[in-house]
Structure 1
Amino acid sequence: MVKHHLTYKHNALITAEQLSNLYKASTIKRPYDDLDRIQKMIEHADIIITAWDEEKLVGIARAITDYSYCCYLSDLAVDIEYQKQGIGKELVHLLQEKIGEEVALILLSAPTAMEYYPQLGFDTIQNGFIIPRKQ
């Protein structure tokens, strides 16, 4: 595993194509072929924290929040070649710094990541509900 020198940025400008490439490289399930939809996902996020290896986007935490009570972590994605280096943990830490201690951080996990999030300090909850998207 190669250690990379990374830069973290808050609300840096990213393109739909960069984010699509990251989604593919991270194996997260997102509509990476629908660049218009990805552009809307970028534009309507409240907080975007990114990890960069020079000019390459290698990680993202994308969140929706009221900055007062709750924050939904929509995406936590790291390029598979950069995983297991603490990037996801750092992205969550930087997000928590932005939202503060009075804001709950909430997310939906992919089944394959259920063991990962407790390592970052997340508690498993059983009292959630969802109306799934139709597409």
Structure 2
Amino acid sequence: MMIVYKDTHKFTAHQLERLFLSVNWESGKYPEKLVKAMRGYHTVYSAWENDELVGLICAMDDGIMTAYVHFLLIDPRYQGMGIGAELVRRIKEHYREYLSIVIIAYKDKTGFYEKCGFLKEDDTALPMIITKL
């Protein structure tokens, strides 16, 4: 298996739909919106095996101080192979001069992010969301 990493904002609806639904994310039901969303992110790195999208990370930033990682998805068939860690490494390198990189992690995934160097915020800060999914 040869994984190739790319810095691109160009994906087909089918590629994004397949990846997002592989991890049971509801946003995968809106592939055309995902295509447009990818064009709007400041930074997008992806992992590929041949022509198959197997991993993705994307971030938004304010241009100088803070970057927000919005998505990190790895196809379950490729999890545990270091792909997620490599995508996080690329984001950390890209934003190395920023004061903070923020990610909201599901509780069962915090161990992975801690291994990547992220710290849990104290209990005074909580993520909040309004969603229409």
Give TM class, smaller chain.
Answer: 0.7 to 0.9
- Secondary structure (helix, strand or coil) at the match of 1:118 reads helix
Q: Kindly report structure 1 stretches of 4+ aligned residues shifted beyond 4 Å.
A: none
Q: What RMSD in Å do the two structures reach over aligned CA positions?
A: 1.7
Matched with 1:54 is 50
After TM superposition, the structure 1 = structure 2 runs for residues 75-114 of structure 1, keeping only pairs within 5 Å, are 75-114=71-110
- Secondary structure (helix, strand or coil) at the match of 1:62 reads strand
**Relative to total residues, which structure has the larger helix share, 1 or 2?**
2
- Secondary structure (helix, strand or coil) at the match of 1:133 reads coil
Q: CA deviation at 1:120?
A: 1.0
Matched with 2:119 is 123
The answer to whether the Cα contact below 8 Å between 2:11 and 2:35 also exists between their aligned partners in 1 is no
The AA in structure 2 aligned to 1:124 is: K
The answer to whether the Cα contact below 8 Å between 1:6 and 1:53 also exists between their aligned partners in 2 is yes
Q: How many residue pairs end up in the alignment? A: 131
The AA in structure 2 aligned to 1:68 is: I
- Secondary structure (helix, strand or coil) at the match of 1:32 reads helix
After TM superposition, the structure 1 = structure 2 runs for residues 8-27 of structure 1, keeping only pairs within 5 Å, are 8-25=5-22, 27=23
Q: Which of 123, 130, 133 in structure 2 is aligned with 1:132? A: 130
Identity value in percent:
25
Q: Which runs of 5+ in 1 are unaligned?
A: none
Q: Which runs of 5+ in 2 are unaligned?
A: none
CA–CA separation in structure 2 for the residues paired with 1:116 and 1:107: 12
CA–CA separation in structure 1 for the residues paired with 2:108 and 2:38: 24
- Secondary structure (helix, strand or coil) at the match of 1:76 reads strand
The AA in structure 1 aligned to 2:130 is: P
Does residue 32 (structure 1) correspond to residue 28 (structure 2)? The answer is yes
Per mean C-alpha deviation after superposition, the further-off stretch among 48-57 and 16-25 is 16-25
Q: CA deviation at 1:76?
A: 0.6
